[in-house]
Structure 1
Amino acid sequence: MEQRTDEEQVQRLREWVGEYWKPVVGGVVVGLAAVLGWQGWGSHQEQQARAASGQFDAVTEAVESGDLDAAAAGVDALTSDYKGTLYASLANLTLAKAYADVERYQEAADALSWVANYGQDAPTRALATLRLARVQWAEGDADAALATLTSSEPPESFQAAYLELQGDLQSAKGESAAARQAYADALAAMDVNAPTRAAVDRKLAELGGPAQDEQAS
């Protein structure tokens, strides 16, 4: 009886292997392909990051040497080939500053607009938006700068800076009440030890301090 049982088990094993060997082997193959595919994707990402880093270094070197045309060509390559990387945003920010330093404001605004729209993360986009508003103000267009600042809600870490610049713009436009409110809101959004707090306090004082309802609150 035991011999027949052993034979039956062997036969059942043969039948099971015959029936299920394809799915089992297929599962193993799929698993290996997934692992190897993930490793291949990771290697591809690493190669992309190295290439983008090298291109960014070339942009910074061109900026430092004063060759803004070469820097602009490098930025174009980065935004075309490595759009989703932080290096593309950093290169545009670097180029924008170089343009602003020589008062090529429209070109600076173009570079900053790219980052404001396509930057990899919210803080990077917020920084570009803040700088874009400053460039627009430097061009003499305070209305455009205000529109840029109020076009989106910045991350919490940028709220005070946005509100301070908003106050500056409104003060320049002669909108004292609105500027006082913006400065008061900026102070409320700041840490008590923020290095720019004294400057905002001074600006608010120069406009007569907070409005009466603000003082009462």
Structure 2
Amino acid sequence: MNEMLSDDEQVERIKAWWKANGNSIIAGVVIGLGGFFAWQGWGSYQEKLAGEGAEAYELFAQAAFDNDAKKTDDALAQLQSNYGDTSYSRFAALELARQQVNAGSLKAAEKTLSNLRNQSTDSALKPLLEIRFARLLVAQKRLDEAGKLLDSINSDAYAAETAAIRGEIAYQQGDMSGARAALEEAQQKGSNDENINYLLEEIGAQESS
């Protein structure tokens, strides 16, 4: 199971919320990030949503959740062309990566996130980008690279998710004791990721067999 690929219920809730609040500028950003990325501790970004570029982002978000590829591409191109140095463009790139992952285009998602990591100068956004890139590496079985990337993350806000990813890496490497320790640490730090429970059950089954 992979957290990045198992968020249908959350996406459906966000879609319903969008229908009820489609004219809200803030809704555009919540929708843009909700499906693929955990949006914990990022309330400060909502304050940046007033002003130029908000409408363009809303158009992108609506097209993305309507699964209209042409309108999504056109809206993203407009954002990158006119608002390339703003949060709107970065949020749109995050949403594009989410779509690419859900479509199974992991290499395309890697390229999207790599470009965003290289271009972004937002120190507050960096830990989130590194976490998502690490998950993408795990999805591609590039476990050593993912582990090294996690070593570079120094953010208490993402300590639980970092531990959860370490647990998944250890599990895939066959280190059941290391996986259990990391996954339990993630739970202790507040993670409620369903994937943790699944892996712990799998570890328990292997240990009892």
TM-score, with length taken from structure 1? 0.57
1:129 corresponding residue in structure 2: 130
CA-atom RMSD in angstroms: 3.2
**1-structure distance, mates of 2:154, 2:72:** 29
**2-structure distance, mates of 1:90, 1:121:** 12
Written as runs of structure 1 = structure 2, the 5 A alignment for 1:21-60 is: 50-60=51-61
Q: Deviations 1:68-117 (Å, cap 9, x if unpaired)?
A: 35534543443454333221221011111111111111121222233434
- Measured at CA, do residues 200 and 122 of structure 1 come closer, stay the same or move farther in structure 2, by a change above 3 Å? farther
**2-structure distance, mates of 1:110, 1:127:** 16
Written as runs of structure 1 = structure 2, the 5 A alignment for 1:163-174 is: 163-174=163-174
- Measured at CA, do residues 138 and 72 of structure 1 come closer, stay the same or move farther in structure 2, by a change above 3 Å? farther
How many residues in Structure 1 have an aligned counterpart in Structure 2?
Answer: 156
Written as runs of structure 1 = structure 2, the 5 A alignment for 1:1-217 is: 50-68=51-69, 70-119=71-120, 121-150=122-151, 152-188=152-188, 190-191=189-190, 195-196=192-193, 200=196, 203=199, 207=203
**2-structure distance, mates of 1:202, 1:126:** 25
**1-structure distance, mates of 2:67, 2:195:** 33
Amino acid at match of 1:170: A
Kept after mapping to 2: 8 A contact 1:56/1:78: yes
Q: Greater relative contact order: 1 or 2 (C-alpha under 8 angstroms, separation 6 or more)? A: 2
Kept after mapping to 1: 8 A contact 2:130/2:153: no
Structure with the bigger percentage of helix: 1
**2-structure distance, mates of 1:202, 1:65:** 31
**2-structure distance, mates of 1:65, 1:203:** 33
- Measured at CA, do residues 199 and 111 of structure 1 come closer, stay the same or move farther in structure 2, by a change above 3 Å? closer
Kept after mapping to 2: 8 A contact 1:167/1:183: yes
**2-structure distance, mates of 1:203, 1:101:** 21
**1-structure distance, mates of 2:81, 2:195:** 41
Percent identical residues: 23
**1-structure distance, mates of 2:108, 2:114:** 10
Structure 2: runs of 5+ lacking an equivalent: 1-48, 205-209
2:4 corresponding residue in structure 1: none
Amino acid at match of 2:168: D
**1-structure distance, mates of 2:109, 2:94:** 9
By how many angstroms is 1:143 displaced?
3.0
**2-structure distance, mates of 1:71, 1:153:** 32
- Measured at CA, do residues 68 and 113 of structure 1 come closer, stay the same or move farther in structure 2, by a change above 3 Å? farther
Kept after mapping to 2: 8 A contact 1:59/1:71: yes
- Measured at CA, do residues 180 and 60 of structure 1 come closer, stay the same or move farther in structure 2, by a change above 3 Å? same
Q: Deviations 1:95-142 (Å, cap 9, x if unpaired)?
A: 111111111111212222334344464453322322222223323333
2:31 corresponding residue in structure 1: none
TM-score, with length taken from structure 2? 0.59
